[in-house]
Amino acid sequence: MHFTTKQIHAGVSPDPVTGSILTPIYQTTTYVQESVDQYMAKGFSYSRSANPTVSALEAKLTELEGGAATTCYGTGMSAVQAVMLAFLNAGDHAIISDVAYGGTYRLCTKILSRFGVEFTFADTSNPEEVRAAVRDNTRLIFTETPANPTLKLTDIAAISAIAKEKGIPHAVDNTFLTPYFQRPLELGADLSVHSTTKYMDGHNATVGGAVVAATKELDEKVRFIQNATGMIMSPMVAFLTLQGCKTLSLRITRQSDNAMAIARHLESHPKVKQVRYPGLESFAQHELARRQADGYGAMVWFEVEGGMQAGKKLMDCIELWSLAENLGSVESLITHPVTMTHSDVEPEERARVGIIDGLVRLSVGLEDSEDLIKALDDALAQV
């Protein structure tokens, strides 16, 4: 089946009891067993370990990513945490993209480092820097591409080749592009990680996460963490995300078209200092974006002339765009990463990796691009 057909039909079938076309919300704690000898005969015992609604979403995401199995979690950060806990022990070392979501940086530096895990935040856009960062005790390479918020890309195939050569699992945060545009497992990665909160849901209705594994063996490692720590997604969230997935390709295609129109407009705006979007020919890694993905996504960032104060003024006075954290929803959102999503990253570290004070991040939605551009122009006229 092609992708759009799979996003509707994969992993689900009419309810055998009623014929309901939608997978029911199995809002239950426990499951009655036929007998001691037939314990788990139907595959379920307790909803911390598995739930039929969640299992349906896991099956759908497995097919969309082309993996062996999927685990779903209560939040995107729970999914990241499950990967870290599955492969890292005290005394181990991991290589992480130097530009990554602020929550990933916080988990590594403020929590896991307390338990004796060491991290190198490497420029994963440079495979040789990754190779040089590998140690005898390196147990995980975790990359985010496109990176949040600078959109810096990592060559997934190149890093996966290094990881395989060294016998280290390579996990890719694929939240920004989704399997419709980018499939890390096909490029050699071992795990594809998602905040389903974003494009999979697409409607600002839920928080959730997922880890798609290339092999059953890798899935067993993260599934053990899912169960042992109680991080499984709730059935209601799984139900809503199942519905969101059905329109994923349609939504992200329209959002990406809008993003391209907005990026091209801002690139020629006299009050905009710089614009970054992988679809622009001026984007430094444009050729890599074309090679490893089927689309450029719906995230754009730009810098206003006048620095942080001008950027803040723009975000405070803009209309139509909502000043809010999150991304990937049908509504267009505008964010100031330095004071919002990446506020826990130390200023010197932000400066080192290019998260500048005046960076304005756009998550482009489904509105008419002409209206979104006019709203930006009106706000820029006030700064």
List residues with catalytic annotation.
48, 101, 173, 198
Instruction: Say how far apart CA 269 and CA 42 lie, in whole Å.
Output: 60
Instruction: Say how far apart CA 380 and CA 271 lie, in whole Å.
Output: 7
**Residue 100 and residue 148 in contact, taking contact as beta carbons nearer than 8 Å:** yes
**Residue 83 and residue 211 in contact, taking contact as beta carbons nearer than 8 Å:** yes
Mapping DSSP onto H, E and C, the string for 172-232 reads EECCCCHHHHCCHHHHCCCEEEEECCCCCCCCCCCCCEEEEECCHHHHHHHHHHHHHHCCE
Q: DSSP letter for 317, please.
A: H
The candidate with the shortest Cα–Cα distance to 270, out of 372, 377, 361, is: 377
**Residue 42 and residue 31 in contact, taking contact as beta carbons nearer than 8 Å:** yes
Instruction: Say how far apart CA 132 and CA 340 lie, in whole Å.
Output: 33
Where are the strands (E) in the chain, listed by range? Answer: 69-73, 93-97, 118-122, 138-144, 170-173, 191-195, 209-213, 272-276, 299-304, 322-323, 333-335, 359-363
Using alpha carbons, list the distances in angstroms from residue 276 to 49, 112, 140, 280.
42, 32, 29, 8
- 76's enclosing H/E stretch is helix 76-87
Say how many residues make up the chain: 383
Residue 132: CB partners within 8 Å, gap ≥ 6? none
How many other CB atoms sit within 10 Å of the CB of residue 18?
8
